[in-house]
C-alpha cells in the first residue's frame, strides 16, 4: 500500500498537481509503513471508516487504499500513467532526476529505461538539453549508481514494522513456542534484502501447521518454496521472507548463523576450530559429540567470547574487542531521556507543541526541544524572528501546565552558504537548543562545504549539527564534505553531532558515528519528527543505528537527566 501511494505521489508531481496533494500521499505512505497492523486488514475489518481514523488518511486516500485492497489497482494511478510517456516512471525512480527533467528526457530524447538514459548521458544528449549541462548529467549518473546499489533492498523503516507485524502473528500461533527475527534486520542494517524468521515448535508435529499458517498470512502474495522445515514467500510489499522451524536444541546455533553477518560467522567458526569444535546452523560438535547450540550464549562461551550484540556482528573489530574485554555496553532505548529535534505546526509539522509533548511523555521522556525551521527555508514554513518569539511564548505557557516534563525552546537554523546562521546571535541566545542544518547549496565543492559546516560549529550558540551528510537513503547521495574535519571541529568547540533518526536519513551512519565516538564527540539521537507518530518509530531506528556505531549511553547527549542537560547546554 505504502509503495503504491508513493508511486502515485511521484506521478502527481509530474502532472503539476498542487504540492499539498502530493505531500498528502507521501505522508499517508509514511503512516502506513509505521503501523503495527496491516492497512489491508484494517480495511477488511472496518472499511474506509477504520482507515480514516489513522493520522493523515482522509476520505480520498482511504478510498484509494480500499480500491487497492479489493482490486489490486488504483484507477487514478492507472489513468495518470497512461497519459505520460512510456517508461517515465522508471526514470522518476532515479535519485536527482526531478519530474521536470525526467519529462524532458522522456519527451525530447525518447528515453524509456535506465539503459537508454545511460546511453543518452554518455552521448552528451542529456547535457545538451535546455537548462541542464555537464554537471546535471553527472548528477543524474550518480543517481543511477545510487539506485543500482540499493536494487532489491528495502529501507529499515519499511522492513522493521512489517517484520514486527509478522512476528506478532507467528507468536500467536498455538504451535509456536518461540519465534525471533534473524538476518540483517536483526543487525539493524539501514537497508534490508529480505526477512528471516526462526521458530521453535511446541512439539515436532506442530512444524507443518506453523509453515502452512505462515504461507496463508494476509501479507503473503505467493509461496515460492515450502518443505518440512522451511517456507519461502513473496510478500505483498515485494519483499521476500523465509520462515525456518528448528528444534529447541539447535535454536541458538540457527539464530547465530542466520543473523550473520557472513564474515562474522566465519570468525566464530575459526575460533571454534582452534578449540577442536565444528559449528554450523544445527549446533556445536566436538568430535562426534554434540556440545551445545540451544542458545547463542552457549556458543559464544564455548569459543571463549562474551555475548556479542547482533548490531555489531560485522567483523569490524568486535571479535578482537570481545577477546580483550573491551566490548562497549551499548545504548538501549530506555537510556534516552528526551528528543532534541522535532517540528510542529509552527513550521512544517503536523501536530501542535502540546501534542508533541504528550507523545513524548507517553514514551517516558523528561524533555523535548521543538526545533521548527528558520526564516530562510520558506518552503518548509520557516519562522520569522517575530513568529519564533511567539512560539517561545507559547512554550512558556505550555510549560506552566506540565509537571515533571519540560519543553525546550529550539530552532532548526539554516547554515547559509558562507557558514553564517539564518538568525542573528542575539536571537539564538534566546533559545535552549540550536540545531544547525544544511538544506541548500548541496553542490558546493568539498572544501567549501566543509568550511561552511566548521564555521557553524564554531558558533557558541550552536548545540549540534543536524544530519551532517545530507543524504536521503536511496534518493540522495551525501554531499561532498570532509567528515574527519567536521568531527575534529565538533570536538574542538564542544559541539554535538546528530544521529538523525528520520527514516530516510539515518545520518550519521554507523562508520562516522564510531569515528566520532572514538574522537570523544557527543552524539544527539533525534527523530526529526514532523508528526507525533514518528517519535516512537524514529527512536527505534536511531537506537539501532547507534548500536551499530558502538555508542554507549554516555556518548549520547539526550541520555542526560534534565538538570544535567540544562547545565551542558548552558556551557
pLDDT in tens, 61-87: 889 888 888 888 888 888 888 888 888
Confidence of residue 36 (pLDDT cuts 50, 70, 90): low
Confidence of residue 35 (pLDDT cuts 50, 70, 90): low
Confidence of residue 280 (pLDDT cuts 50, 70, 90): confident
What is d(CA 435, CA 502) in angstroms, rounded to the nearest whole number?
Answer: 15
Residues sharing a CB contact under 8 Å with residue 72, sequence separation 6 or more, in sequence order: none
What is d(CA 496, CA 481) in angstroms, rounded to the nearest whole number?
Answer: 17
What is d(CA 98, CA 145) in angstroms, rounded to the nearest whole number?
Answer: 16
The pLDDT assigned to 139 comes to 86
The pLDDT assigned to 37 comes to 67
Residue where the block lists cell 518443505 = 227
Q: Which of 139-143, 230-234, 398-402, 435-439 is predicted least confidently?
A: 139-143
Q: Is residue 548 reached through a cis peptide bond, with omega within 30 degrees of 0 on the bond before it?
A: no
237-to-4, 13, 159, 180 alpha-carbon distances in Å: 9, 23, 10, 21
Cβ-contact 132, 50 below 8 angstroms? no
What is d(CA 549, CA 514) in angstroms, rounded to the nearest whole number?
Answer: 5
- What domains sit in the chain, N to C, each tagged with a CATH number? 2-149 (1.10.150.110), 154-245 (3.30.460.10), 250-323 (3.30.210.10), 333-570 (3.20.20.140)
pLDDT in tens, 142-170: 888 888 777 678 899 989 999 999 999 99
pLDDT in tens, 80-114: 888 888 888 888 888 878 888 888 888 889 988 88
Cβ-contact 454, 418 below 8 angstroms? no
What is d(CA 481, CA 425) in angstroms, rounded to the nearest whole number?
Answer: 25
Give the mean pLDDT of 427-451. Answer: 96
The pLDDT assigned to 42 comes to 83
pLDDT of 183 strictly over 90: yes
Cβ-contact 521, 497 below 8 angstroms? yes
In 1-151, which residue ranges form alpha helices assigned H by DSSP? 2-14, 19-33, 39-51, 59-71, 75-83, 88-92, 99-108, 114-122, 134-149
What is d(CA 560, CA 571) in angstroms, rounded to the nearest whole number?
Answer: 14
pLDDT in tens, 188-208: 999 999 999 999 999 999 999
Residue 159, H or E segment = helix 156-171
Residue 174 CA neighbour count, 13 Å, CB half = 2
Q: Percent of the chain having pLDDT more than 70?
A: 99
SS3 85: coil
Instruction: Please say whether the dihedral angle defined by the alpha carbons of residues 246, 249, 254 and 256, taken in this order, is positive or negative.
Output: positive
Confidence of residue 22 (pLDDT cuts 50, 70, 90): confident
Q: Which of 5-9, 116-120, 350-354 is predicted least confidently?
A: 5-9
Give the mean pLDDT of 31-48. Answer: 76
What is d(CA 23, CA 49) in angstroms, rounded to the nearest whole number?
Answer: 22
Residues sharing a CB contact under 8 Å with residue 254, sequence separation 6 or more, in sequence order: 182, 198, 244, 246, 281, 282
Gap between the terminal Cα atoms of the chain: 48
Cβ-contact 555, 522 below 8 angstroms? yes
Confidence of residue 291 (pLDDT cuts 50, 70, 90): confident
Mean pLDDT of all residues belonging to the chain = 92
Amino acid at each position: 500500500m505504502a509503495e503504491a501511494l508513493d508511486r502515485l505521489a511521484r506521478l502527481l508531481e509530474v502532472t503539476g498537481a498542487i504540492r499539498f496533494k502530493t505531500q498528502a500521499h507521501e505522508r499517508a505512505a509514511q503512516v502506513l509503513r509505521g503501523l503495527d497492523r496491516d492497512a489491508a486488514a484494517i480495511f477488511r475489518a472496518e472499511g474506509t471508516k477504520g482507515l480514516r481514523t489513522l493520522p493523515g488518511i482522509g476520505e480520498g486516500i482511504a478510498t484509494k487504499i480500499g480500491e487497492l485492497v479489493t482490486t489490486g489497482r488504483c484507477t487514478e494511478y492507472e489513468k495518470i500513467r497512461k497519459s505520460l510517456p512510456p517508461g517515465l516512471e522508471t526514470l522518476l525512480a532515479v535519485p536527482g532526476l526531478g519530474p521536470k527533467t525526467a519529462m524532458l528526457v522522456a519527451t525530447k530524447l525518447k528515453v524509456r529505461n535506465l539503459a537508454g538514459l545511460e546511453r543518452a548521458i554518455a552521448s552528451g544528449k542529456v547535457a545538451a538539453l535546455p537548462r541542464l549541462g555537464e554537471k546535471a548529467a553527472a548528477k543524474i549518473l550518480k543517481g543511477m549508481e545510487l539506485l543500482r546499489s540499493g536494487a532489491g533492498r528495502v529501507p529499515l523503516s519499511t522492513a522493521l514494522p512489517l517484520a514486527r507485524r509478522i512476528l506478532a502473528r507467528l507468536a500467536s500461533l498455538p504451535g509456536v513456542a518461540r519465534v525471533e527475527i534473524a538476518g540483517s534486520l536483526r543487525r539493524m542494517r539501514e537497508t534490508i534484502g529480505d526477512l528471516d524468521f526462526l521458530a521453535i515448535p511446541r512439539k515436532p508435529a506442530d512444524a507443518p501447521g506453523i509453515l502452512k499458517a505462515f504461507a496463508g498470512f494476509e501479507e503473503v502474495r505467493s509461496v515460492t518454496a515450502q518443505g518440512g522445515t522451511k517456507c519461502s514467500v513473496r510478500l505483498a510489499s515485494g519483499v521476500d521472507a523465509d520462515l525456518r522451524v528448528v528444534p529447541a536444541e539447535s535454536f541458538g546455533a540457527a539464530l547465530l548463523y542466520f543473523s550473520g553477518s557472513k564474515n562474522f560467522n566465519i570468525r566464530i567458526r575459526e575460533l571454534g576450530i582452534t578449540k577442536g569444535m565444528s559449528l554450523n546452523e544445527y549446533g556445536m560438535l566436538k568430535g562426534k559429540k554434540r556440545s551445545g547450540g540451544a542458545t547463542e550464549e552457549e556458543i559464544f562461551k564455548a569459543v571463549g567470547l562474551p555475548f556479542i550484540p547482533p548490531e555489531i556482528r560485522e567483523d569490524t573489530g568486535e571479535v578482537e574487542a570481545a577477546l580483550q574485554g573491551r566490548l562497549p555496553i551499548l545504548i538501549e532505548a530506555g537510556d534516552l531521556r528526551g528528543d532534541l529535534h522535532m517540528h510542529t505546526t509552527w513550521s512544517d509539522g503536523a501536530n501542535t507543541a502540546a501534542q508533541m509533548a504528550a507523545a513524548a511523555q507517553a514514551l517516558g521522556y523528561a524533555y523535548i526541544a521543538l526545533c521548527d525551521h528558520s526564516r530562510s527555508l520558506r518552503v518548509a514554513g520557516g519562522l520569522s524572528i517575530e513568529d519564533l518569539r511567539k512560539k517561545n511564548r507559547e512554550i512558556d505557557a505550555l510549560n506552566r501546565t506540565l509537571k515533571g516534563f519540560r519543553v525546550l525552546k529550539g530552532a532548526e537554523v539554516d547554515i547559509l552558504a558562507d557558514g553564517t546562521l539564518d538568525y542573528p546571535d542575539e536571537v539564538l541566545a534566546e533559545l535552549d537548543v540550536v540545531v544547525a542544518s544544511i538544506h541548500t547549496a548541496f553542490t558546493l565543492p568539498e572544501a567549501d562545504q566543509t568550511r561552511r559546516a566548521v564555521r557553524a560549529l564554531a558558533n557558541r550558540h550552536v548545540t549540534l549539527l543536524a544530519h551532517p551528510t545530507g543524504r536521503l537513503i536511496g534518493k540522495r547521495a551525501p554531499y561532498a564534505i570532509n567528515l574527519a574535519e567536521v568531527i575534529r571541529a565538533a570536538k574542538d568547540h564542544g559541539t554535538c553531532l546528530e544521529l538523525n533518526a528520520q527514516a530516510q536519513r539515518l545520518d550519521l551512519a554507523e562508520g562516522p558515528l564510531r569515528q566520532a565516538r572514538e574522537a570523544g564527540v557527543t552524539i544527539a539521537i533525534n527523530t526529526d519528527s514532523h508528526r507525533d507518530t514518528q517519535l516512537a518509530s524514529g527512536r527505534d531506528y536511531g537506537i539501532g543505528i547507534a548500536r551499530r556505531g558502538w555508542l554507549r549511553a554516555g556518548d549520547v547527549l539526550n541520555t542526560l537527566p534534565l538538570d544535567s542537560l540544562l547545565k551542558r547546554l548552558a556551557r
